[in-house]
Amino acid sequence: MFEEPMTSEGATGVETTPPRATAPTRTTCPYCGVGCGVLATPDGAGGAEIAGDPNHPANFGRLCSKGTALGETLGLDGRLLHPMRRQADGSFARVSWDSALDEIAGRLASIVARDGPDAVAFYLSGQLLTEDYYVANKLMKGFIGSANVDTNSRLCMASAVAGHKRAFGADVVPGCYEDLDLADLIVLVGSNAAWCHPVLYRRIMRNRETRGAKLVVIDTRQTASTEDADLFLQIAPGGDQALFSGLLAHLAATGAVDADFVAQHTSGFDFALDAARRLAPDAASTARLTGLAESDVSAFFALFAETPRVVTAFSQGVNQSAQGTDKTNAILNCHLATGRIGRTGAGPFSLTGQPNAMGGREVGGLANTLAAHMGFEPESIERVGRFWRAPRMATQEGLKAVQMFDAVAKGKIKALWIAGTNPAASLPDADAVREALGGLELLIVSDNVRLTDTIGGGAHILLPAQAWGEKSGTVTNSERRISRQRAFLAPPGETRPDWAIFADVGRRMGFDGFSFSSAAAVFAEHAALSAFENAGARAFDIGGLAQLSESAYAALEPTQWPVRHGEAKGRARLFAEGGFCTPARRAHFAAPATPRLAEALTPDFPLRLNTGRVRDQWHTMTRSGASVRLANHTLEPYVDIHPDDAATAHVVDNGFARVATARGACVLRVRVTARQARGQLFAPIHWTDQTAAQARIGALVGPHVDPVSGQPESKATPAAIAPHAFARQGFLLSRHPLTPPGRAWWARAAIRKGFGYLLASDADNLEWIEALRSLAPHAEAVEFCDAARGLYRAALFADDRIELLLALGPTPVSWEPWLDFFAAEHLPPGPRFAFLSQGTRAGGGDASPVVCACHNVSAAKIEAAISEGCQDATQIGAVLRAGTNCGSCLPEIRRMLAQAGRPPS
C-alpha cells in the first residue's frame, strides 16, 4: 500500500527510510506489536545503520521514530555483561555461568522439595522471543510442576485474551493489517495509535486520504490520534461498555444485524442483546452513561450501522480496566452481530502492545493457559504431558501477575525468576511490589541492563541476556504474523539467549527435554506441539512450520498463523464463515455487566489518574532512553491537567505538583491543557528511579483487577494534586550517570557525550558546589553567580573538557546553548568562566563569574589584581585568598595570568 515516498517526521514520528550501501540483516523491530521489518547493517563498531524493510508486510519500509533510532540504542553503556551474584554487603560480584546456574538449579530444587512447586514462580515478558517463552513455560509447567508462570502481558493484553476466548473459544485476532487499508470506517477505542502503533496509524491515515475512510476515536482525553479524527468521542473513564452496548441495541433496532450469521454461527445473542438494552437502550441513555453528547453518540451509531467495512481497533483504554473483558466483549458483540468479522476491511482488532505479546500467548506464557492455546482441561494436561514426556505436569492454573506478587509479599512464593520485565516499576502498587521483592529467599533477574528498579529491589542473581540485534528467534505481531528477529551483532561479554539460560537450568535440575541445540530446534518443537492431536480443534496451529530445517528457519519469511501441516502459506483472516473454536463451533455473545470503575472518588482523592505512553519512549526507557533524538521529544515526567482543575488546585503551567493516591506519590512537571478532560489527570509511565526522582507512576496505581482477566485498572486511580514549589530550577550535565545531589528533583535525558539532568531544588549555592566537588573531587571548579538575578552556574573541568556543568535560576534554564561546549573534547583556550556567563549580562547586571568558590572571589577581582601587578597565583592568593583553600581554581587563575601576558610560574 505504500508506493509513494514516505513522509518526513510528523506527529506520529513516521520517517523516511534512508538508502543503504551494504547487504543488511532482515530482522524485526523490538518495540511495539506492529512488528515492523527492519534492515540492519552493522557498522563494524558495535552499531548499525537501521532502515525499514520494504518487503515486510507490516510496514513496507516505514519505521516510526523509535524504530528509526534503534541504531542509537545499541551501545554497551549500562549493559549487564556477566552473571553476577549479590554479596553479603549488598554489592554484586561477577560469578561464572556455571556457578550461577548450578546455584539456581540447586536452590530451586531444594525450595520445591521443601515447600512444593508453587513456592517458585517465573515472571516473563512480551519482549522475550517465542523460543525463550517456550522453554521457560515448559520448564515450569511440565517439569517443576507449577503453573506459576505469568507475564507482563497480564498488564497489557489479558483482557483482550479473555474476551477473545469468551467470544471465539480461542485467543484469535480475526483480521489483518490490510483491513486497516481497506476499511471504510476505523474506530480506535482506548488507543493512541498515532504514538503507540505509529506505522499502523500511518496506514489508517493513508486510507483516509486516498479512499476517504472515516476515523472515529474514543478516548478520555485528546491525543495525537484524536487530531485527525472525523469524530472524537471524549468518553468518561470506563464508559466503553455502555457505548458498545448502546451500539448493539441500536444495530438491533435499525435492522443492521446479520441475522443469518447470528443464527448459523453464534450463540447467546438474545441474552446479550437484552443485557445491552437494559444497560443502554438508546442514544440518550448511552450519552448519560458515557458523558458524551447525544448527537455524537447518534452520529457514531449511524456511521457504524451503515458502514459494512468497519474495523474496531482497541488497546489499553479497553484492556486496562476493571471490566476490560466486558469492554472487549461489548466490542466483539457488535462485530459478531453484524457478521463483520474476518471479512476484507472488517473486524474487531486488538492492537498488541509488545513485540511478542502474541508469541507469549501462543506458547502459554499466561498462568491460566497451559501451552499452545491449550488450557488446564484434563485431556490437554494429559496430551501436553505426553508430548513433553513431562514428569510433573501442573494441573491447575497458576497465579496471575498481581496475585503472584501478592503471594510473594505474603511469603508463599519463595523464589522468583524475572526475565525481560521490570515489575518494580510497571506493576500497580509498585512500591509494595518492590518491597515484596526484598523479602524473597531467591530473586533471579535476567535482563540486558545492570540496574533497574527491580534489580535494585533485592535481586540475588543477575543473568545477562542477549539483547535485540544479538539474539535470534521469532516474534508474532498483532496480525498473527510470525517474523524472525535475526542477530546482526556479536553477543557482548558473556550474554546468552534467554531460551538457552532456561534450558541450561532445566538440564542442571536433571530434566530431559532441554537439550535444544538452537533456537530453530526450540521453534520446531513448539510448532509440532501446536499441531499435536489438533485436527482443527485449535486455531493456533503452525504445524506447517514444524519441519523447518535450520536453513529454512534462518530464511523464514513473515508468516501468518494458522499454517497447518502441508500448507505453505498462513491465513490472513478467520471466522468469516464461522468455524469458531468452541465445541459447537459457534461464537458466543457475552453479556456485559454494568460499567463500574474499581475505586470511587473521595474528597481526598477527587480526580482520576490516567497513565500511558509518550511517542518516543518505550516503557522503562532501558533502551529508548539511550537515544538523544528520542529524549528530545519529552525531556521530563509530567502531569496533564485541565485549566479548571489547575485553578482549583492552585497548580500552574510549567510549575511542579505533587500527585498522590492512596498508594503513593510523585512530583511532576505540570502541563495545563484543555486537551485533558475536567476531573482527570494524565501522567506517562516511563520514568523510574533510574531516570528520575519521585516519578515512578506505577507506585500510584491501585492494584484492582478485572475479575475475568486479572488485568489491572491502570487508567483510573483516584488521585489528588497539589502545588509543589522549588526555590530554583535548572540542569546538570554530566559525562557519567549519577544521582544528582542537593536533595534535588531531577529527571535524566540522553545528551551528546553524556547525561542531562533537569533539576529543581531548594539547596543553596554552597551546598551545590560542595556536592559537585564530591562527585568529581579532582576536577577544576569554576563558578558564576549573579545574586541579584538568582543565577548560579558552575562547571567542573578535567583536562580541557567539561565533566559537570550546573545551571540554576528562579525559572527553568534551557541546556540547549551549552550542549556544544559540553560535548567538545577540547575546549578552546582562554578563561573558562567566559562561557559560563554567556547570555546572562543582557539585563545589565554587574555579574562576574566566581573563580574561587571557597573564598567567593570573582573573575573581575582577579583581573583587577593582575592589572594592579600580581605576577603569579601565589601573589593573587596572598592578596585575595583565591586558590588558597581547595586549589581547584588554580588552573583557572593561571590561565588568566597567562592571558594577561604573565609568564607561567
Calpha distance 814→804 (Å, rounded): 16
Shortest Å, Cβ 156 to Mo ion: 3
From 196-204, 498-506, 531-539, 549-557, span contacting ligand SF4 (CB under 6 A): 196-204
Q: Does 615 bind ligand MGD (CB under 6 A)?
A: yes
Closest to ligand SF4 by CB, 266 or 319: 319
From 259-267, 377-385, 612-620, 828-836, span contacting ligand MGD (CB under 6 A): 612-620
Q: Does 218 bind ligand MGD (CB under 6 A)?
A: yes
Q: Does 359 bind ligand MGD (CB under 6 A)?
A: no
Closest to Mo ion by CB, 30 or 353: 353
Q: Which of 618, 307, 599, 622 is nearest to 448 (CA)?
A: 622
From 193-201, 450-458, 478-486, 579-587, span contacting ligand SF4 (CB under 6 A): 193-201
Identity of the residue numbered 483: S
Shortest Å, Cβ 350 to Mo ion: 12
Q: Does 198 bind ligand SF4 (CB under 6 A)?
A: yes
Cis peptide before 562 (omega within 30 of 0): yes
Calpha distance 244→164 (Å, rounded): 16
Size of the site for ligand SF4 (CB under 6 A): 14
Closest to ligand MGD by CB, 315 or 734: 315
What cell numbers appear for 348 in the block?
474487531
Shortest Å, Cβ 319 to ligand SF4: 18
From 39-47, 441-449, 556-564, 865-873, span contacting ligand MGD (CB under 6 A): 441-449
The backbone region for 592, taken as left when phi is positive above 0, alpha when psi lies in -120 to 50, beta otherwise, is beta
Select the binding partner of residue 290 from ligand MGD, Mo ion, ligand SF4, none (C-beta < 5 to 8 A, by kind).
none
Shortest Å, Cβ 519 to Mo ion: 24
Select the binding partner of residue 340 from ligand SF4, ligand MGD, Mo ion, none (C-beta < 5 to 8 A, by kind).
none
Segment 334 to 353, residues that bind ligand MGD, using CB under 6 A: 353
Closest to ligand SF4 by CB, 199 or 243: 199
Site string for ligand SF4, 62-91 (x = CB under 6 A): -xx-xx------------------------
Among 26, 34, 124, 440, binds ligand SF4 (CB under 6 A): 34
Identity of the residue numbered 286: T
Shortest Å, Cβ 196 to ligand SF4: 8
Q: 240-253 and 294-306 are packed helices; what angle lies between their axes, rounded to 10 degrees?
A: 60
Neighbour order of strands in the sheet with 214-219: 231-234, 214-219, 185-189, 310-314, 347-350
Q: Which residue has the cell 504514538?
A: 195
Segment 35 to 64, residues that bind ligand SF4, using CB under 6 A: 35-36, 59, 63-64
Please check whether residue 119 is in contact with residue 415, taking contact to mean a CB–CB distance below 8 angstroms. Answer: yes
Task: Enumerate helices (H) and strands (E) in the chain, giving the number of each.
Answer: 31, 34
What cell numbers appear for 298 in the block?
447518534
Count of all residues that appear for the chain in the document? 905
Q: Does 640 bind ligand MGD (CB under 6 A)?
A: no
Closest to ligand MGD by CB, 202 or 895: 202
Calpha distance 427→562 (Å, rounded): 33
Calpha distance 401→410 (Å, rounded): 14
Site string for ligand MGD, 110-149 (x = CB under 6 A): ---------------xxxx---------------------
Q: Does 316 bind ligand MGD (CB under 6 A)?
A: yes
Select the binding partner of residue 273 from ligand MGD, Mo ion, ligand SF4, none (C-beta < 5 to 8 A, by kind).
none
Residue by residue, DSSP assigns 750-819 as EETTEEEEEEEE---HHHHHHHHHHHSTTSEEEEEEEGGGTEEEEEEEETTEEEEEEEEESS----GGGH
What cell numbers appear for 98 in the block?
556455571
Closest to ligand SF4 by CB, 198 or 423: 198
Site string for ligand MGD, 670-709 (x = CB under 6 A): ---------------x-----------xx--x--------
Closest to ligand MGD by CB, 420 or 562: 420
Residue by residue, DSSP assigns 711-764 as -B--S-EEEEEEEE--SEEEEEEESS-----TT-EEEEEEETTEEEEEEEE---
Q: Does 221 bind ligand MGD (CB under 6 A)?
A: yes
Among 333, 369, 714, 734, binds ligand MGD (CB under 6 A): 714
Residue by residue, DSSP assigns 495-530 as -B-HHHHHHHHHHHTT-SS----SHHHHHHHHHHHH
Q: List Cα–Cα distances, 431 to 425, 663, 695, 818, 879, in angstroms.
A: 8, 8, 12, 37, 56
Calpha distance 359→480 (Å, rounded): 9
Among 52, 117, 238, 365, binds ligand MGD (CB under 6 A): 238
Shortest Å, Cβ 175 to Mo ion: 20
State the pairing for strand pair 745-751/754-761: antiparallel
CB count, 10 Å around CB of 537?
A: 13
- Greatest pairwise CA separation for the chain in angstroms: 104
Closest to ligand SF4 by CB, 481 or 588: 481
Select the binding partner of residue 36 from Mo ion, ligand MGD, ligand SF4, none (C-beta < 5 to 8 A, by kind).
ligand SF4
Closest to ligand SF4 by CB, 66 or 573: 66
Q: Does 191 bind ligand MGD (CB under 6 A)?
A: yes
The backbone region for 86, taken as left when phi is positive above 0, alpha when psi lies in -120 to 50, beta otherwise, is beta
Please check whether residue 213 is in contact with residue 231, taking contact to mean a CB–CB distance below 8 angstroms. Answer: no
Shortest Å, Cβ 758 to ligand MGD: 20
What cell numbers appear for 211 in the block?
479512499
Select the binding partner of residue 806 from Mo ion, ligand MGD, ligand SF4, none (C-beta < 5 to 8 A, by kind).
none
Select the binding partner of residue 701 from ligand MGD, Mo ion, ligand SF4, none (C-beta < 5 to 8 A, by kind).
ligand MGD
Q: Which of 276, 282, 322 is nearest to 301 (CA)?
A: 282
Q: Does 165 bind ligand SF4 (CB under 6 A)?
A: no
3-class SS of residue 438 = helix
CB count, 10 Å around CB of 650?
A: 11
Select the binding partner of residue 51 from Mo ion, ligand SF4, ligand MGD, none (C-beta < 5 to 8 A, by kind).
none
Among 27, 31, 505, 718, binds ligand SF4 (CB under 6 A): 31
- Give contact residues for Mo ion (rule: CB under 5 A): 156, 353
Size of the site for ligand MGD (CB under 6 A): 63
Q: Which of 123, 132, 149, 124 is nearest to 394 (CA)?
A: 149
Neighbour order of strands in the sheet with 473-476: 473-476, 481-485, 559-560
Site string for ligand MGD, 399-428 (x = CB under 6 A): --------------------xxxxx-xx--
CA atoms within 13 A on the CB side of 309: 14
Please check whether residue 158 is in contact with residue 709, taking contact to mean a CB–CB distance below 8 angstroms. Answer: yes
From 152-160, 264-272, 294-302, 763-771, span contacting ligand MGD (CB under 6 A): 152-160
Q: Which stretches of the chain bind ligand SF4, using CB under 6 A?
A: 29, 31-32, 34-36, 59, 63-64, 66-67, 197-199
Q: Which stretches of the chain bind ligand MGD, using CB under 6 A?
A: 32, 125-128, 152, 155-156, 189-193, 195-196, 218-221, 223, 235, 237-238, 240, 315-317, 320-321, 353-354, 419-423, 425-426, 446-449, 452, 465, 467, 471, 498, 610-613, 615, 617-620, 622, 685, 697-698, 701, 714-715
